[in-house]
Amino acid sequence: MQQNGLTLQKHTALRPTRTHDGVVVALRSNIRWCSDHLEIHARNGEVVRIVFVIDACDREIIAWSAVANAGISGEMVCDLMIAAVERRFRTLKVPHRLEWLSDNGSAYIARQTAQVAAALGIDLLFTPVRSPQSNGMSEAFVKTLKRDYASTVILPDAETILALLPEWIEDYCEVHPHSGLKFRSPREFLRLSA
């Protein structure tokens, strides 16, 4: 099988070394970021997959990426980490300890993801297996995006979803009230905290 190129690729992931088992909400911004991915289905059967990172204090979507009819890769997660660090710190290294909480998906446990996280100074934490509620901050955003945005419009194809996503995420960050932020939007909360 090897001679004919019929074997599977070798396992390249690093098993999570540290499982997160505490409280998700952080007391200050830029202490813990949560990441997850979701799918939005178009009427024609196309699927858009979105990967994002959200701050566990202020709930702002710091960075996100979407792809149509393809999976979320480790490279996408690495690019997401770099974009988030650049956006929040305007540098390529975090100035203090920062936790990145995610599930145990292959894109998050890939060797490349761990290497990029280490280079950026990010500590990777993973939710216990089959325990999505332990990343409740991300799950709440997924529910909100699907309920308050995607389900309110007709989505004929992936192109439409990709065109609407920037507007939806901007509205979520700038306007959407959060009970955990005393019914302020994430950016309103950030402006008042500065």
> What burial letters (b/e) apply to 26-64, b meaning 16+ CB within 10 Å?
beebbebbbbbbbebebeeebebbbbbbbbbbbbbbbbb
At 1, is the secondary structure helix, strand, or coil? coil
pLDDT score, position 6:
66
Distance, C-alpha 88 to centroid of its chain: 15
What are 35's strand-pairing partners? 53
The pLDDT of residue 116 is 97
Residues in the chain, how many?
194
Q: pLDDT, tens digit, for every residue of 44-103?
A: 999 999 999 999 999 999 999 999 999 999 999 999 999 999 999 999 999 999 999 999
Place of tokens 């710190």: 89
36 sits in which H/E element: strand 32-41
At residue 134, the pLDDT reads 63
What 3-state DSSP class applies to 33?
strand
| pTM of the predicted model as reported, rounded to 2 decimal places | 0.85
Pairing mode, strands 47-55 and 32-41: antiparallel
Rounded Cα distance between 44 and 36, Å, is 25
- The predicted pLDDT at position 20 comes to 46
Give residue 131's pLDDT: 61
Domains delineated in the chain: 9-132 (3.30.420.10)
Residues in Cβ contact with 112 at an 8 Å cutoff, skipping those fewer than 6 apart:
12, 74, 75, 78
- In a 10 Å sphere around its CB, with 0-12 CB exposed, 13-18 middle and 19+ buried, how is residue 20 labelled? buried
Question: pLDDT tens digits, residue range 160-187?
Answer: 999 999 999 999 999 999 888 999 999 9
Mean pLDDT of 108-114: 95
